[in-house]
Each structure stands twice: as structure tokens, then as C-alpha cells.
């Protein structure tokens, strides 16, 4: 049987649903982080893998989501659902504005621009002490449902909804339009697609998905700090997508889970875990440029994007 | 009435900071313009330059060791550049951008940690700068800053001469624009790429060496510098030395002025300026036809 996007999603989430029964609280929390990283990376991949635009600024959506939920719950006293809604609004506006400006270019220039706008948000978070707590960030974000395991299931549920919605979009005519732009923007324009508007739409959908993941991350950590907006986290999101495989829908999700565990293993093994992570990731990208899931997918006879 | 001495001191500060930025950004822009690789680890090269300077200056105090430190940083970082180019990047010329970017990103993680291993995690600063200072009113201007500005100016002139007046410069440019023709005419394009990468890396190393004693050396200083270089390149225009100079001056002055006037916007304003330039002239102030539309 050839692998399909839906069945892969169902299988992975079924495994994740039983995982807390086997893992202790520490690994449950790590898995929850992995699920959110993975969801953020799938969101990133809507723009990268399906629309052909490499963003190096997705930490801005992740971080903006995390900060807005933290500010909403801690500073404004809003409930979690209200904070989440506010965070979607904020992320959406940020995506529309930065997308409008960054999409004046494509390819490497686009990557640099998104990176620079991410740094703009980072600079704001670092300086706006009364709102963001500056370099210390915001502490004491309440965790909905309290318990880590219960919150894990909330994360799992929301992530599943986000991923199903993205898959639905990508399989729709809109998704086909994105692919057409990715494969040949000139042809897409000649055929009559409003290329720039569709790119902005893809950018916004992509940012919102990553923003939801970031929004759920702040209550998991019960805190948020400027690192969540720093450009190296944007690079990490790109890494997750490529690590898992950007040409399979579920690839970046698995990439996010793997990234968390590579990092955790390296941290446990050596004081110089960045060095170990860097060498591992560098080697993987040279040896398996299609990603781990991409490789397995192809071996199983699945269709790559 | 603002004190004239204060203004002169701030002017020198802004020029010093712009000089550092120009040297990093021009190296980055040069390497990208020729090899088409956007080296994210370029900032880490700058950091290594700062550490090498620190080591040389603590080992041999005095004015001569500062000169030695700058030269050593330039040379050693050029050598590291050579190793990185020949050992790593040569494999990914012409590969997709994300592979190139992620490989150089992985290199940052490695170099940052190597620096931590060799020099430790704490900030490295020097208590006194060599060469003393000049008094202007109630303010003092370190001679060191003036030397740094002179070095940056010399690099700008040197780069301009190299690319407009020498055969080597023409060969390098030909290797980027018309590789097949250049090869047919007997230019070893591989060696030209290597030379470019070493030159750009040397600029980053020397820039770090100049910055280190003033701005202190620490792991992660490179990831900050690289993003400012991006802003500079976007403002000035990709691949243009003049653009890098203009961009560095704009960023250097914006930051120095805002640090005094309204520090909350010190960094943010740089990106706002960038966004405005982008709206008015998408190719940057001195950018040519080079920018791809799609």
C-alpha cells in the first residue's frame, strides 16, 4: 500500500495519543514541545514546500503568538481562549504587513527580508519593558487544565485540527494554485493567477499556523522570553522542515519531533551540545537532502511533492 | 546648546561603528555577489576575529600588538574561510538555497561552541585601548577609533581598486558572470571563488578584530552582526560596495543617534528605515539590475 498524507497523519497522532501512558512527565512535556515545533514547521512548509518561498523569519509568528497569549493572560487577565483569539489577530496583522513588504522580492532576498522583520519584532520585545518584560520575558503564564498531561492532549487536539485544515487547503484548488506558483511563477501569472495576492495568502496562512503553535507554547513553558523571536529559532524551524522532508506533508512535523530529541540528547551528552547539534544537522542535510521522512516515503513508493 | 565636543565624540563613535559594519557587510556582499552563497556563518567569522584580537592583545600588550592582532585575525579567519569553502561549501554551489543556508547555519552552532571551548563563555574585554586619546573640549576621542575608521576607508578604496583596476578583479567578476567564457579564456574559476571567499572572510575577521576591544568579544556576537549586515545590504543594494558603505553609514548613524536620543527605538528604527527604503526603491539605494523578480 502506498503511503497517503491522511493515513500518515492518523498513524502519527494515534501513536502520540498513547505516548503519555508510556513516557513520564518529563518526556510528555518534551513530546508536547516536539508537537508544537512540528506544527510550526508544517505551517512554515505551506509557504516553503508548497509555494516555493523560503522564509527565514518564522520565529516572528511563533514568538508573536507566544507573547500575545502571555500578555493576554498575565497582563490583561483574559481567558485562554480569548488570548488565543487575540493572538491569531495579532499574528494575522503582522503576517499581512511583513508579507506585503517582503513579497516585493523572492528567493534569497525574501529570506533576508523576513529575517530582518523578525529581528524588528525581537528588538521591540527586548526594549518594550512594560509590555514584554524586556530580556527577562514574562513569567507565570497559567497553564490551561493545569496538569501537563491534560494540556498535552489539548496541544495534540489543536495541532491535529490545524494540520487537517492545512492539508484540506493544500488539497483544494487553492493548494494547486500555490504549487503552480512554486513550480513556475511566470506560467502561473500568464494562466491568470493573481500571483502576488496568492503568495500573500500563503504567507498569512503559513504564519497563522506557526502562530497557533507558538501561542500554545507559552502556557506549556508557563513563560516566554525574547529567544522565541530570535532569528536562530527561525533557522531552527527551517531545519525541522528540511530534516523531516519538505516534500511530504507530514515530513516537517516529524522533523520538529526529531529536532527536540536531537537537541535533548545532545544536551544530556555534552556541555557542548550546540557543537554536537550543529555537526549532526550539518551531516544530515548533506547526506539526506530530501529529509528522513522524504527518504522513507520514496522507498515506500509514496509520491513526493 | 549642545556641546561641540560631545557632537564630535558622537560623530567619531558613529563613524567607528559604521566602519565595523561596512567591513562585515562588504565581505558578506562580496562573497554573495561572486559565489551566490549567503554565508550565515560570516558573523561567526567576525566573532572569531574579535577573539583572536583579544588573545593577541592580552599576550603582548602595546600598540604594536594591536596591529599584529588585526593582521593575525584577518589572516587566520581567511584561512578558516579557505577550509570552510574547500571542505564544505564547494559541495553545495548551485544547490538549493535552503541547503546552503542551513549548512552555514549549522556552522554557526559549531563555531560558537568552539569559541566557548577555547575562550570560555564569559565576555572578553580590554580595560584600555592602545594609542591613547585626543581631547576635544570635555570629551576624549580614542585614537583607536580613528585608526579603525582609516582601516575601513582603506578597505573600501582597496576593494574598489581591486574590482575596477586590476586583472585579478576582472577575472573574479568574469568567473561569476560568465563562468564558461572565463574558463575558456584560461581563468581558474574555482580558484577565483576560493580567493573571493578568503578575501570576504578576511574582512569579517579584521572587522571583528577592530570591534573586539571596544564592543567586547562574546559567543553569539556574530548572530547579531549578521542580521545588521543583512539590513545594510538590503538598504544599500546587493553586491554593491558603495551600497554597503552607504548602508553601513545609515545603520551606524541611526543607531548612534537613537542610543542618545531615544534608546527604545535604537535597533527597531534600523529595520523601519530598511522597510522604507524597500518601499521606495526595492533594489536598495545603489542596487542595480541584479535583483531577481520572481
Residue spans of the domains in chain A: they are 5-228
* Higher pLDDT pick, A181 / B220: A181
- A16 to chain B, closest Cα gap in Å: 28
Query: How far from each other are the two terminal CA atoms of chain B, in whole angstroms?
Result: 52
In a domain, B108, yes or no: yes
Determine the Cα–Cα distance for residues A265 and B124; give it in Å rounded to an integer. 30
The residue range of the domain holding B99 is 4-280
Q: What confidence tens digit (pLDDT) does each residue in B125-167 have?
A: 877 788 888 888 888 899 999 999 999 999 999 999 998 899 9
Percent of chain B scoring above 90 in pLDDT: 51
Q: What is the pLDDT of residue B33?
A: 86
Provide the β-strand partners of residue B124.
B217
Nearest C-alpha of chain A: how many angstroms from B271? 6
> C-alpha cell of B160?
574598489
Residue A138 DSSP SS3: strand
Q: Which residues pair with B142 in a beta bridge?
A: B133
A111/B271 Cβ within 8 A: no
The answer on pLDDT for B292 being more than 80 is no
Give the integer Cα–Cα distance in Å for A70 and A143: 10
The overall average pLDDT reported for chain A is 92
| Angle at CA of residue A72, ends A69 and A74, nearest 5° | 100
Cβ distance of A275 and B114 shorter than 8 Å: yes
pLDDT at B286: 86
Q: What is the reported pLDDT for A65? A: 97
Contact B106 A285 (CB under 8 A): yes
Q: Does A267 touch chain B (CB under 8 A)?
A: no
**CA-based radius of gyration for chain B:** 19
Q: Which of A105, A111, A272 sits opposite B291 (nearest CB)?
A: A105
B76 in a structural domain:
yes
pLDDT at B291 exceeding the cut of 70: no
Residue B287 is assigned to a structural domain of this protein: no
Q: Check residue B114 and give its pLDDT.
A: 93
Is B288 among the domain residues? no
How many helices (H) does chain A have, and how many strands (E)?
A: 14, 2
CATH of the domain at B268: 1.10.3470
Inter-residue contact B214 to B21 (CB < 8 Å) = no
Q: What is the 3-state secondary structure (H, E, C) of chain B?
A: CCCHHHHHHHHHHHHHHHHHHHHHHHHHHHHHHHHCCCCCCHHHHHHHHHHHHHHHHHHCCCHHHHHHHHHHHHHHHHHHHHHHHHHCHHHHCCCCHHHHHHHHHHHHHHHHHHHHHHHCCCCECCCCCCCCEEEECCEEEEHHHHHHHHHHHHHHHHHHHHHHHCHHHHHHHHHHHCHHHHHHCCCCHHHHHHHHHHHHHHHHHHHHHHHHHHHCECCCHHHHHHHHHHHHHHHHCCCCHHHHHHHHHHHHHHHHHHHHHCHHHCCHHHHHHHHHHHHHCCCCCCCCCCCCCC
- The whole-number average pLDDT for the span B198-226 is 93
Q: Which three cell numbers stand for residue A274?
A: 550546540
Q: Is residue B291 part of a domain?
A: no
**Interface contacts (A, B; CB < 8 Å):** 127
- Best B222, B227, B251, B254 member to test A by mutation, with max A CBs in 10 Å, is B227
Residues of B in contact with A277 (CB under 8 A): 109
Q: What is the pLDDT of residues B41-83, one digit of tens each?
A: 999 999 999 999 999 998 987 778 889 999 999 999 999 999 9
Residues 183-242 of B with CB under 8 A from A: 223, 227, 230-231, 233-234, 238
Q: Inform me whether the pLDDT recorded for A186 exceeds 80.
A: yes
User: pLDDT of A284-295, one tens digit each?
Assistant: 888 888 888 898
Res. A1: pLDDT tops 60: no
Report whether A176 contacts A192 (CB < 8 A). Answer: no
Question: Does B105 fall in a domain?
Answer: yes
Mean pLDDT score of chain B? 89
Total domains present in chain B: 1
pLDDT, one tens digit per residue, over B172-197 is: 888 888 888 888 888 888 899 999 99
pLDDT tens per residue, range A206-230 = 999 999 999 999 999 999 999 999 9
Using a CB-CB distance cutoff of 8 angstroms, which residues of chain A are in contact with residue B294?
106, 185-186
Reported confidence tier of residue B206, pLDDT bands at 50, 70, 90: very high
Q: What is the mean pLDDT of residues A88-104?
A: 95
Interchain CB distance below 8 Å, A111 and B97: yes
Q: Give the pLDDT of residue B61.
A: 76
Q: Please indicate whether, in this complex, the C-beta atoms of B278 and A112 are within 8 angstroms of each other.
A: no
Cell of A282: 550539518
- Chain position carrying cell 490551561: A144
Q: How many residues does chain A have?
A: 305
pLDDT of residue B288: 64
Cell of residue B152, nine digits: 575601513
Give the closest of B102, B116, B271 to A238, CB-based.
Answer: B102
Q: Tell if the CB–CB gap between A117 and B106 is shorter than 8 Å.
A: no
Residue A254 has pLDDT above 90, yes or no: yes
Section A112-139 average pLDDT: 88
Q: Which pLDDT band holds residue A2 (cuts at 50, 70, 90)?
A: low
Dihedrals phi, psi of B222, to nearest 5 degrees: -70, -40
State the cell numbers at A192.
491568470
CA distance linking residue B17 with residue B25, whole number of Å:
12
What is the per-residue pLDDT for B1? 56
**C-alpha cell recorded at residue B99:** 541547503
> What pLDDT does residue A284 have?
86
Q: What is the pLDDT of residues B9-39, one digit of tens each?
A: 999 999 999 999 999 999 999 998 888 889 9
Percentage of residues in chain B with pLDDT exceeding 70?
A: 97
Amino acid at each position: 500500500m502506498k503511503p497517503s498524507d491522511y493515513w500518515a497523519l492518523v498513524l502519527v497522532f494515534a501513536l502520540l495519543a498513547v505516548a503519555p501512558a508510556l513516557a513520564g512527565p518529563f518526556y510528555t512535556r518534551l513530546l508536547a514541545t516536539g508537537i508544537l515545533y512540528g506544527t510550526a514547521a508544517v505551517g512554515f512548509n505551506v509557504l516553503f514546500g508548497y509555494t516555493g518561498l523560503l522564509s527565514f523569519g518564522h520565529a516572528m509568528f511563533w514568538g508573536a503568538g507566544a507573547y500575545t497569549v502571555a500578555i493576554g493572560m498575565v497582563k490583561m487577565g483574559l481567558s485562554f481562549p480569548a488570548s488565543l483569539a487575540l493572538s491569531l489577530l495579532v499574528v494575522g496583522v503582522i503576517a499581512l504587513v511583513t508579507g506585503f513588504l517582503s513579497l516585493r522580492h523572492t528567493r534569497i532576498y525574501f529570506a533576508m527580508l523576513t529575517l530582518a522583520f523578525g529581528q524588528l519584532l525581537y528588538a521591540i520585545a527586548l526594549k518594550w519593558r512594560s509590555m514584554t518584560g524586556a530580556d527577562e520575558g514574562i513569567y507565570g503564564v497559567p497553564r490551561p487544565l493545569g496538569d501537563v498531561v491534560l494540556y498535552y492532549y489539548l496541544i495534540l487536539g489543536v495541532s491535529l485540527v490545524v494540520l487537517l485544515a492545512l492539508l484540506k487547503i493544500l488539497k483544494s484548488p487553492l493548494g494547486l494554485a500555490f504549487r503552480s506558483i512554486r513550480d513556475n511563477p511566470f506560467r502561473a501569472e500568464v494562466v491568470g493567477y493573481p500571483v502576488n495576492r496568492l503568495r500573500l495568502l500563503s504567507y498569512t496562512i503559513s504564519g497563522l499556523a506557526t502562530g497557533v503553535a507558538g501561542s500554545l507554547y507559552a502556557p506549556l513553558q508557563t513563560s516566554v522570553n525574547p529567544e522565541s523571536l530570535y532569528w536562530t529559532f527561525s533557522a531552527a524551524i527551517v531545519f525541522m522542515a528540511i530534516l523531516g522532508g519538505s516534500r511530504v506533508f507530514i515530513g516537517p512535523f516529524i522533523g520538529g519531533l526529531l529536532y527536540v530529541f536531537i537537541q535533548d540528547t545532545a544536551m544530556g551528552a555534552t556541555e557542548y551540545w550546540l557543537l554536537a547539534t550543529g555537526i549532526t544537522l550539518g551531516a544530515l542535510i548533506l547526506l539526506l537532502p530530501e529529509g528522513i521522512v522524504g527518504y522513507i516515503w520514496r522507498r515506500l513508493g509514496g509520491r513526493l511533492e | 546648546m549642545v556641546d561641540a565636543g560631545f557632537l564630535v565624540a558622537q560623530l567619531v563613535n558613529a563613524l567607528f561603528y559604521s566602519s565595523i559594519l561596512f567591513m562585515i557587510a562588504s565581505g558578506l556582499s562580496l562573497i554573495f555577489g561572486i559565489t551566490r552563497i549567503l554565508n550565515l556563518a560570516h558573523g561567526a567569522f567576525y566573532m572569531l576575529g574579535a577573539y583572536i584580537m583579544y588573545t593577541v592583545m592580552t599576550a603582548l600588550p602595546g600598540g604594536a600588538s594591536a596591529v599584529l592582532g588585526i593582521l593575525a585575525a584577518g589572516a587566520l579567519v581567511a584561512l578558516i574561510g579557505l577550509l570552510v569553502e574547500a571542505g564544505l561549501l564547494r559541495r553545495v554551489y548551485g544547490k538549493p538555497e535552503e541547503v546552503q543556508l542551513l549548512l552555514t547555519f549549522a556552522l554557526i552552532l559549531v563555531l560558537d561552541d568552539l569559541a566557548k571551548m577555547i575562550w570560555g563563555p564569559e565576555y572578553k574585554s580590554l580595560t584600555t585601548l592602545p594609542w591613547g586619546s585626543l581631547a576635544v573640549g570635555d570629551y576624549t576621542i580614542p585614537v583607536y577609533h580613528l585608526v579603525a575608521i582609516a582601516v575601513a576607508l582603506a578597505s573600501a578604496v582597496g576593494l574598489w581598486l581591486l574590482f575596477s583596476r586590476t586583472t585579478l578583479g576582472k577575472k573574479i567578476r568574469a568567473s561569476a558572470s560568465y563562468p564558461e567564457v572565463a574558463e575558456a579564456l584560461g581563468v581558474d574559476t574555482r580558484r577565483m571563488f576560493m580567493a573571493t571567499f578568503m578575501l570576504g572572510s578576511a574582512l569579517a575577521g579584521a572587522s571583528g578584530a577592530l570591534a573586539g576591544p571596544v564592543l567586547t568579544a562574546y559567543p553569539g556576537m556574530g548572530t547579531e552582526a549578521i542580521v545588521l549586515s543583512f539590513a545594510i545590504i538590503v538598504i544599500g543594494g546587493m553586491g554593491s560596495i558603495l551600497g554597503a558603505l552607504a548602508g553601513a553609514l545609515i545603520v551606524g548613524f541611526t543607531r548612534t543617534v537613537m542610543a542618545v536620543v531615544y534608546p527604545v527605538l535604537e535597533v527597531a528604527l534600523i529595520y523601519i528605515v530598511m522597510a522604507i527604503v524597500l518601499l521606495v526603491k526595492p533594489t536598495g539605494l545603489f542596487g542595480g539590475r541584479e535583483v531577481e523578480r520572481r
